[in-house]
Amino acid sequence: MLKSRLSDRGALFDGTCNPDRPSHWLKTDILDRAELDVKQWHFVIDDNPFLPPEYVENLKKEYTGIFYDRYILGLWTLAEGLIYPFYQEAVAQTVPRDYTEYQISIDYGTQNPFAMGLYGLYDGTWYKVKEYHHCGRDTQRQKTDGEYYDDLVLFAEGYPVRHIIIDPSAMSFIVLIMRNKKFIVRAANNAVLDGLRHVASAIKQGLFRVNDCCVETIKEFQIYSWDDRGNDTPVKESDHHMDADRYFIHTNGIALPKRELGENKRREGRRK
């Protein structure tokens, strides 16, 4: 439609975009076609003279992997390999800590595994304190919503849990939790790509750690990979604790404070 509006002699269209996967339609159908009258300019984040240096440095620390390549270096990069190749930075020793706040995040499964994580806040960092894992296929015993709720109550026993975060698609289980009025339910922000980016940023910034007693979570870290079809999606296998962690971090916006600080400074600068 844009091209069909450029009928006048000398007409042109100026556009800007962040790069995506190399197979994205904008790159393959327009930018890579030599026969089209298209001029490209490549910029990196340091080329923008209006961004405060502190804000730029914070962004460079927050972005990792393909997100760094795309949003900092301006490259059309394929998502491949491990999603969190630096996952070992997140593993912490299981020791007593004076956590000041607790939440639980759930990836609900019937035949697939049902995964829960208990998260505690200590000295500005969220720790995955412990995990719950049940797979009906592996145990040959499928649990009901009522049984999972009993397991949730037992899992939270002894901890002043503030919120339960759960994928909004698990409606029957959400209704059950709400009827019992023991926990406050928060629907998870289940956006995948933004969620993966925020988990990666939280790990790199030291805002999220996993106690080494969470063996199923660490197993998933070791194999959690990008789908090799180039669609910017994870392999949907052994990813249930990864999903629960993503729900928790993305819903709470744990990796966002530094960026929000930079944006506030930019807005203050414009007002001046």
With a cut of 60, say whether residue 267 has pLDDT above it. no
Which amino acid appears at position 189 of this protein? N
Tokens of 45: 């984040």
Which pLDDT does position 265 carry in this prediction? Answer: 41
At residue 3, the pLDDT reads 75
The yes-or-no verdict on residue 5 having pLDDT over 50 is yes
76 close to 21: Cβ distance less than 8 angstroms: yes
Share of the chain above pLDDT 90, in %: 55
Q: Provide the pLDDT confidence category of residue 107 given band limits of 50, 70 and 90.
A: very high
> What angle (nearest 5°) sits at the alpha carbon of residue 195, between those of residues 191 and 200?
165
Q: Are strands 114-122 and 125-134 parallel, antiparallel or unpaired?
A: antiparallel
pLDDT band for position 109 (cuts 50, 70, 90): confident
Class at the top of the CATH hierarchy for domain 87-258:
alpha beta
Residue 220 has pLDDT above 80, yes or no: yes
246 near 194, Cβ under 8 Å? no
Domain boundaries, the chain: 16-71, 87-258
* 64-68, 85-89, 118-122: the lowest-pLDDT one: 64-68
Q: Give the pLDDT of residue 111.
A: 72
Please report where in the chains the tokens 């930075």 appear, as a residue: 89
| Mean pLDDT on 260-269 | 43
**Above 60 in pLDDT, residue 271?**
no
| Spatial distance between the Cα atoms of 202 and 196, rounded to a whole number of angstroms | 10
Nearest in space to 247 (alpha carbons), one of 126, 62, 105, 129? 105
pLDDT in tens, 177-203: 999 999 999 999 999 999 999 999 999
Q: What is the pLDDT of residues 12-50, one digit of tens each?
A: 888 888 888 788 888 888 888 888 888 899 999 899 999
Q: What is the pTM of this model?
A: 0.77
Q: Decide: 67 and 197 in contact? Cβ < 8 Å.
A: yes
